[in-house]
Amino acid sequence: MRPARRDELAAAALDVAPRLLGAHLRHGEVTIRLTEVEAYEGESDPGSHAFRGRTARTASMFGPAGHLYVYFTYGMHHCANVVCGPEGRASAVLLRAGEVVEGHETARQRRPRSSARDLARGPARLAQCLGLDLSDDGLDLCAGGSTGVDLPAEPPGEVRTGPRVGVSGPGGDGETFPWRFWLADDPYVSAYRPAVRRRRDE
């Protein structure tokens, strides 16, 4: 593992997303190996929070790359994204699932009713394990602090793609696009559940 460089994250979300598979995201005492992610391409993507432009909520999505975008959804959950792409063009990779590899005791305290497999198997669970909330929105992942992302030296294995959970493709007409990426046959990937058309914050 090595720390991700900002220039590596400054590419399009569709390029950055598969590179994050197998990466280690650390925040405080907990580190998670990422097994599943989704790409969101900003103002050209109806599924993105930034589809209608920059707001106070989405400001961190507009860069620079290598920061966290954390949002609150359903009135109860936080979810985390890695901001990517060139500064000024909103794009991000939603962190959908992973395996806790460090800080198991802290993660279990945050999710006491969860099995080891399900601790971070889902975007809200992942953020909860890491202890992320809105106060962490905009944190720099490339500054060398206690929060950061480390990339694997070698490709982590076979990567599969499929439709994102609950959102359509950039045409906005219900067509699905393979913008979800996951490690094949990894037990820490979340269960895919087709959903009615909706924006991911509804």
The confidence score (pLDDT) of residue 195 equals 47
Which has more pLDDT, 195 or 139? 139
Burial class (CB within 10 angstroms; exposed 0-12, middle 13-18, buried 19+) of 79: buried
Instruction: Give first-to-last CA distance, the chain, whole Å.
Output: 36
The per-residue pLDDT for range 77-113, each reduced to its tens digit, is: 999 999 999 888 889 999 999 999 999 999 999 999 9
The confidence score (pLDDT) of residue 51 equals 67
The confidence score (pLDDT) of residue 199 equals 44
Which has more pLDDT, 127 or 178? 127
31 Rama sector, left if φ>0, alpha if ψ -120 to 50, beta otherwise: beta
d(CA 113, CA 3) in angstroms, rounded, equals 32
* Assigned CATH for 2-183: 3.10.300.10
Burial class (CB within 10 angstroms; exposed 0-12, middle 13-18, buried 19+) of 48: buried
User: Residues 91, 42: contact at Cβ < 8 Å?
Assistant: yes
Q: Which range is most confident: 9-13, 44-48, 59-63?
A: 9-13
